[in-house]
């Protein structure tokens, strides 16, 4: 029995148009077609597609998984047909450039669609998701010929892309990559090596698969500065762009894993496989970062998508399941017991899931709209601002959304009691599926190091100021607004604590870098809590202004969820500040032998 799911279209539209600047996005050059009516119609169609095509395959895909026989991977029943419907519906080209056949819609719209697809079937959504990332890297760093060859096929959905970084000896530390690329007289390269954990690395969904592979040239300097990026097609490409001879890039094995069982995870062997360099020699990481940043946001989307899905399942169950009476006397005296939704602890879990999910959606769409500004705004100063905010908040979105998304799926199981542990209800699958999102695309620990070690200091703290200045201004501006006091006060307290933690790290990390390392995860969590708190204060303000005549209680529920967030979730920043300021001694002054 698949857990119920209805795409949260009302909330998506609220975030996109009422909280954020969706109307301004359609005024940017190139996004003129993204008028409100078009965007709403696209989201409605995507919702139907996700609910009717992706959702019915989620549980069966998990049960069946993928198999490998004689080098051929078979995906769960129905995946090929669903993918074909996806491409026939034009979904693969939604945000790609019109010159390559795409519809050129804003990235921020695709984030909402990606959420619906991931909520309904995280595994299946990955085949197209990685292809978008590959397209972005080729678009940013490829030659015109490469763009004209690959991008139209990605738009059509007839080829998919992969991202081949990881090797047995290296995951986080890509400087250890050993796959070799030998230059050939005709300008191509021959690649040899083994990649592991490659998502969607082999399948029969499409006529070709284009691997983006990190490898090392013979004269490359050691470490991260000696890595180049190559396009390695499964089938070599004929002059007429049809698929030709098989390239020796093959699937040696597939992994048996905890979740996302419908997304095949492959060992990919390259045995003198033909590849084409993309971007500059030894600058592969720069090109790959384009793909990784897009994939990091995409992973953040998976986190909130899982939270939404688990929330919906848990709410329905909590209304139905009757156990015990309310502490304050029967609420449903006609029944033998009250539904569990009356109990404070069940409400704590439901509201936590809701407050994180809606808050993360607001934060994620905000940054997605900033990326649209970065892509299209003619004003360089506005583009720089957008770039700074997106760079700063990408690791926060990746880690905070997936940590809270995982917690939400776990609470979803808890709301179901023992029934949550039973596969039939579908709740335990969400926990298993979303768990990977905290690990891949750089573990959440690595996201925290990126925030503290790189983003915090970048351009002499300019990125931080891009966030701190508007938040401080907003708090100051609303501090006299009595109606907003209950939201602004907690936000102000948490924001002050975040600034204090920032100051502590800036002061204590230079003398002892372990202080930054030990503070990083707590600091990122504080950052996420405050950013989402800022979103909640602004959402509450809009809802307060619109609550009169609010027949569906949408705005009333927003205000009450904001109140819950401010009172019950945001104050975590106080204890996080204490742990940041406790420094690294208790971690590092523990002899390795004591473990």
Ligand X SMILES: Cc1cc2nc3c(=O)[nH]c(=O)nc-3n(C[C@H](O)[C@H](O)[C@H](O)COP(=O)(O)OP(=O)(O)OC[C@H]3O[C@@H](n4cnc5c(N)ncnc54)[C@H](O)[C@@H]3O)c2cc1C
CB of 105 or CB of 210, closer to ligand X: 210
CB of 175 or CB of 221, closer to ligand X: 175
Return the SS3 of 273.
strand
- State how beta strands 67-69 and 72-74 pair: antiparallel
Joined tokens for residue 592: 């390795």
Tell the smallest beta-carbon distance from residue 440 to ligand X (Å). Answer: 4
CB of 266 or CB of 340, closer to ligand X: 266
CB of 250 or CB of 500, closer to ligand X: 250
What's the half-sphere exposure (Cβ side, CA atoms, 13 Å) at 97? Answer: 14
What is the b/e burial string over 137-146, where b = at least 16 CB atoms within 10 angstroms of the residue's CB?
bbbbbbeeeb
Return the SS3 of 164.
strand
Can you list the positions of beta strands (E) in 412-483? Answer: none
Tell the smallest beta-carbon distance from residue 295 to ligand X (Å). Answer: 8
Dihedral sign from CA coordinates of 308, 309, 311, 315? positive
Q: Answer for the pair 356, 407: CB distance below 8 angstroms, yes or no.
A: yes
Tell which residue, 338, 320, 313, has the closest CA to residue 431: 313
Dihedral sign from CA coordinates of 526, 527, 532, 533? positive
Surface-to-core class of residue 72, CB atoms within 10 Å of its CB (0-12 exposed, 13-18 middle, 19+ buried): exposed
Tell which residue, 371, 356, 244, 251, has the closest CA to residue 311: 356
CB of 198 or CB of 310, closer to ligand X: 198
Dihedral sign from CA coordinates of 102, 396, 387, 173? negative
Tell the smallest beta-carbon distance from residue 71 to ligand X (Å). Answer: 19
Joined tokens for residue 242: 């049809």
Tell the smallest beta-carbon distance from residue 163 to ligand X (Å). Answer: 5
CB of 163 or CB of 559, closer to ligand X: 163
Distances (CA, A) of 234 to 123, 204, 237, 249: 21, 11, 9, 6
Tell the smallest beta-carbon distance from residue 348 to ligand X (Å). Answer: 29
CB of 440 or CB of 555, closer to ligand X: 440
Measured at the alpha carbon of residue 145, what is the angle toward residues 126 and 131, in degrees to the nearest 5?
0
Contacting positions for ligand X (CB under 6 A): 163-166, 171-172, 197-199, 257, 265, 436, 439-440, 442-443, 445-446, 449
Alpha-carbon distance of 396 to 571, in angstroms, equals 18
Alpha-carbon distance of 177 to 170, in angstroms, equals 6
Catalytic residues: 441
Instruction: Count CB atoms within 10 A of the CB of residue 101.
Output: 16
Tell which residue, 71, 474, 486, has the closest CA to residue 248: 71
Q: Answer for the pair 536, 488: CB distance below 8 angstroms, yes or no.
A: no
The residue count of the chain comes to 595
Joined tokens for residue 401: 């959304």
CB of 110 or CB of 263, closer to ligand X: 263
CB of 455 or CB of 558, closer to ligand X: 455
Tell the smallest beta-carbon distance from residue 324 to ligand X (Å). Answer: 40
Tell the smallest beta-carbon distance from residue 572 to ligand X (Å). Answer: 22
The CB-nearest residue to ligand X is 171
Secondary structure element (H or E) that encloses residue 122, with its range:
helix 107-141
Tell the smallest beta-carbon distance from residue 265 to ligand X (Å). Answer: 4
Joined tokens for residue 220: 């490359």
Tell the smallest beta-carbon distance from residue 439 to ligand X (Å). Answer: 6
């Amino acid at each position: 029995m698949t857990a119920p799911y209805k795409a949260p279209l009302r909330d998506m539209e609220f975030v996109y148009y009422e909280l954020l600047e969706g109307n301004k996005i359609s005024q940017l050059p190139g996004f003129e077609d993204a008028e409100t009516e078009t965007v709403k119609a696209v989201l409605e169609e995507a919702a139907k597609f996700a609910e009717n095509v992706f959702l019915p395959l989620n549980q069966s895909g998990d049960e069946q998984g993928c198999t490998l026989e004689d080098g051929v991977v078979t995906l769960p029943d129905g995946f090929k047909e669903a993918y074909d419907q996806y491409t026939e519906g034009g979904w693969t080209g939604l945000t790609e450039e019109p010159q390559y056949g795409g519809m050129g819609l804003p990235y921020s719209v695709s984030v909402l669609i990606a959420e619906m697809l991931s909520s309904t079937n995280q595994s299946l959504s990955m085949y197209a998701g990685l292809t978008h990332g590959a397209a972005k890297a080729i678009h940013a760093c490829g030659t015109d010929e490469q763009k004209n060859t690959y991008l139209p096929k990605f738009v059509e959905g007839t080829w998919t892309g992969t991202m081949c970084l990881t090797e047995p000896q290296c995951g986080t530390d890509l400087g250890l990559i050993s796959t070799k690329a030998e230059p050939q007289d005709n300008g191509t390269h021959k690649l040899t090596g083994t990649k592991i954990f490659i998502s969607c690395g082999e399948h029969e969904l499409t006529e070709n698969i284009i691997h983006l592979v990190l490898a090392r040239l013979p004269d490359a300097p050691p470490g991260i500065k000696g890595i180049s990026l190559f396009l390695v097609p499964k089938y070599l490409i004929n002059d007429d762009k049809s698929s030709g001879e098989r390239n020796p890039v093959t699937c040696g094995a597939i992994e048996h894993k905890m979740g996302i069982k419908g997304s095949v995870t492959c060992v990919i062997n390259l045995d003198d496989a033909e590849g084409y360099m993309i971007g500059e020699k030894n600058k592969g990481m720069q090109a790959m970062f384009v793909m990784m940043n897009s994939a990091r946001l995409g992973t953040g989307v998976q986190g909130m998508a899982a939270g939404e899905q688990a929330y919906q399942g848990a709410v329905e169950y909590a209304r139905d399941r009757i156990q015990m009476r309310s502490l304050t006397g029967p609420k449903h005296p006609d029944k033998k017991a009250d539904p569990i939704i009356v109990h404070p602890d069940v409400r704590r879990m439901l509201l936590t899931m809701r407050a994180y999910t809606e808050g993360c959606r607001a934060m994620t769409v905000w940054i997605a709209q900033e990326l649209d500004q970065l892509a299209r705004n003619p004003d360089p100063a506005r583009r720089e601002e957008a770039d700074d905010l997106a760079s700063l908040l990408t690791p926060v979105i990746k880690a905070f959304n997936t940590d809270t998304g995982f917690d939400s799926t776990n609470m979803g199981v808890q709301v179901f009691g023992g029934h949550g542990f039973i596969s039939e209800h579908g709740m335990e699958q969400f926990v298993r599926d979303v768990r990977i999102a905290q690990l891949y695309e750089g573990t959440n620990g690595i996201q925290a190091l990126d925030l503290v070690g790189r983003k915090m200091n970048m351009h002499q703290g300019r990125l931080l100021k891009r966030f701190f200045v508007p938040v401080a201004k907003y708090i100051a501006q609303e501090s006299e607004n009595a109606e907003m006091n209950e939201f602004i006060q907690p936000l102000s307290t948490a924001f002050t604590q975040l600034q204090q933690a920032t100051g502590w790290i800036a002061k204590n990390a230079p003398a002892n870098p372990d202080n930054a390392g030990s503070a990083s995860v707590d600091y990122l969590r504080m950052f996420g809590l405050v950013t989402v708190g800022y979103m909640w204060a602004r959402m509450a303000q809009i809802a307060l202004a619109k609550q009169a005549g609010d027949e569906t209680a949408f705005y009333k529920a927003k205000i009450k969820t904001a109140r819950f967030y401010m009172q019950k979730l945001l104050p975590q920043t106080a204890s996080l500040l204490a742990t940041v300021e406790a420094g690294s001694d208790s971690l590092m002054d523990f002899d390795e032998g004591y473990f």
